[in-house]
Structure 1
Amino acid sequence: MTERAPPTYERYLPWRRWVEIGFWVAMIGANCIGNSMTTLIDMRRQGSGVEAWEPAVWEVSSALVWLLVLIPAIAWYTRRFPLHWENWRRRIPEYLLASIVVCIIHVVGMVALRVLAYRSQGMTYEFGPWPRELVYEYLKDIRSFATIVVLVEGYRFLLRRWQGEASLLAEPDEGPPLEPVDRPERFLVRKLGREFLVAANDIEWLQAAGNYVNLRVRGHDYPLRSTIAGIETRLDPRRFTRIHRSYIVSLDQVASIEPLDTGDARVHMKDGSALPCSRRYRQDLRQRTGAEAA
């Protein structure tokens, strides 16, 4: 296999975290400024005696809770419990419940910040009747929650396609398969509209990542829609072995095994990676590889 990840993707990785943070700061910040200005204008038209800083406090308090708490939590939740076409009927009730939790955290957090801001000015903040205001805020927050979920999942989908997403070869519509489907010898990788094959023997190690398993091939990761247990049963046990609840390694790629005081171990791979090995797998791995302790 000679295909490599696009240089642009490799150059993007060091900047990925900053781009992601910058996107949400810019998006929430622009919304915060716009809402503050329009709210102040509307209230002035109505003859309200609200101070000019009050709408800014209302919007900034909401924005801070979204940026510092809720967006990271939603990103974690969608990674831990991803929403796909195959599971959306089962996931929708869970996501609706999550949206209620998001709303409660949002309201409690922003009200607390507003109370502190008003106290600093010698004033008292009145949120209003909680049942009515919670319903009002939820009608807004569920739209924000859905928008964030769509943006996060859409971004991950684009990253997988840019990086290269792996899949198992399916049985042909007619005739027998060219190779065993239950124990694949190759994986199909789709990347930016192109397709190529990755030999199973080229996989150095595999790592669980939510509903995906990353296949490490010559320094690049290709996500495969599977659980780590599911793909373990389809790999050749003579070549691959489990070393951790989240890792499977190619026996040919193990360089050494470093025992740790805890009883676990650290597996050093030929590509320079160091992977965790649980104590339950440590002795079996040493016997199968004959690797010397590092």
Structure 2
Amino acid sequence: MDPTPPNLYQRYRPWRRSFEIGFWVAQYLVGALANSITVNMDVRRGHLDFSAWQPVVWETSSAVTALALVPAVVWFTRRFPLHLDDWRRLLPLHLLGSLAWSVLHVVGMVAIRKLAYASVGDSYDFGSWWRESGYEYLKDVRSYAGMVLTIEGYRLLLRRLQGEAMLLSLPDEGPPVEPVERPERFLVRKLGREFLVAATDIEWLQAAGNYVNLRVRGHDYPLRSTIAGIEARLDPERFVRIHRSYIVNLAQVASIEPLDSGDARVHLRDATVLPCSRRYRANLRSR
């Protein structure tokens, strides 16, 4: 039998990191080039006393600093993701995040500008810090919001391509067909289709921010939960915690390799190797 051809998400995975990095680099550096040209045109049109290199320094310093802050925003949105059901609760945190982002952006770009001006024997004057920082924040809060919406929209698209798992909930009418506190099946949505995955088919689970990835027959399905929350709802006769970020299906374990550090490696039947910390090693061996 021919192997199943890779789907769109599987074909994209090897290029994912390169695409993500390339997107942000192009976003800011191409933007800096375009803005430098337009600002220089405005300078010439207004007969302002600025050299051609100065707008380039202004725009490039802003873009380079914002680009350097992208990993921090990615981490922050992974730690506090915005979703339609709880955005009001997290909005104040993101307003504080936008303020911190603006402060770092202003400090970074001013430092770069001062260095650039000093390199040609000139000096850069940012002006009144209180007034200019307020002006910059009015621009930065929009930039921050655009960045967060881009990141969350991209993650939503990936989850739609990859598939997203959900716990079965109580029906609107009548008793549930199976216990919802210890589910035997999970609902998976992928590209507009829904299907059920048996809990016994889950090979292992890995914490990923505010999600837990369910590994099922070589596919990862993100489930919005904490690792502790989903552990409490899995059958303890079938699943065991082996690490602060991993839970494994005992039926998938082929061998346990002890390490000198006291930790271990868990080898699964499909040749996957998972870490087992010393805290959970004794319980795994006893099981």
Same fold at TM > 0.5: yes
SS of the equivalent of 2:92 reads helix
Deviation, 1:23, is 1.5
Q: Identify which range, 31-40 or 211-220, moves more after superposition.
A: 31-40
- Paired position in structure 2 for 1:123: 122
Q: CA deviation at 1:238?
A: 0.3
Specify the SS of the correspondent of 1:160: helix
Q: Which amino acid aligns with 2:60?
A: V
| Map of 1:108 onto structure 2 | 107
8 Å Cα contact 2:29-2:64 kept in structure 1: no
1:33-112 matched pairs, under 5 angstroms: 33-67=33-67, 69-112=68-111
CA contact (8 A) 1:5 1:220 kept: no
Residues 256-292 of structure 1: CA distance to partner in whole angstroms, max 9, x if unpaired? 112122212121122222212121210110111xxxx
1:154-193 correspondence to structure 2 within 5 Å: 154-193=153-192
Q: 1:1-31: CA deviations, max 9, x gaps?
A: xxx7952211100001111112212222232
Please list the CA deviations of residues 203-228 of structure 1 after superposition, one character each: whole Å capped at 9, or x if unmatched. Answer: 00001111110000111100001111
Distance across 2 between alignment mates of 1:133 and 1:146: 20
Query: Equivalent residue of 2:173, what SS?
Result: coil
Alpha carbons of 1:5 and 1:85: their partners in 2 closer, same or farther (altered >3 Å)? farther
Checking the alignment, whether the CA contact within 8 Å between 1:5 and 1:163 is kept in structure 2 is: no
Cα offsets for 1:74-107 (capped at 9, x unmatched): 0111001112233322211111111111011101
In structure 2, C-alpha distance between the alignment counterparts of 1:159 and 1:272, rounded to whole Å: 26
For 1:226 and 1:254, the matched residues in 2 are separated by 24
**1:251 equivalent in alignment to 2:273:** no
Which residue type is aligned with residue 197 of structure 1? L
* Structure 2 counterpart SS, 1:243: strand
TM-score normalised over the length of structure 1: 0.93
Q: CA deviation at 1:185?
A: 0.9
Q: How far does residue 124 in structure 1 lie from its aligned partner after superposition?
A: 0.9
Q: In the alignment, residue 151 of structure 2 is paired with which amino acid?
A: V
Whole-Å separation in 1 of the counterparts to 2:170 and 2:178: 9
**CA positional deviation for 1:197:** 1.1
Q: What SS does the aligned partner of 1:272 have? A: coil
Which blocks of at least 5 consecutive residues in structure 2 are unaligned?
A: none
Q: How big is the shift at 1:249?
A: 0.5
Moved more, 7-16 or 83-92: 83-92
Residue identity (%): 68
SS at match of 2:83: coil
Question: Given the alignment of the two structures, is residue 220 of structure 1 paired with residue 188 of structure 2, yes or no?
Answer: no
When the two chains are superposed, the root-mean-square deviation of aligned CA atoms in Å is 1.3
TM-score, normalization by structure 2: 0.95
Tell me whether 33-42 or 94-103 shows the greater mean CA deviation: 33-42
2:52 maps to a residue whose letter is: A
**Counterpart position of 2:240:** 241
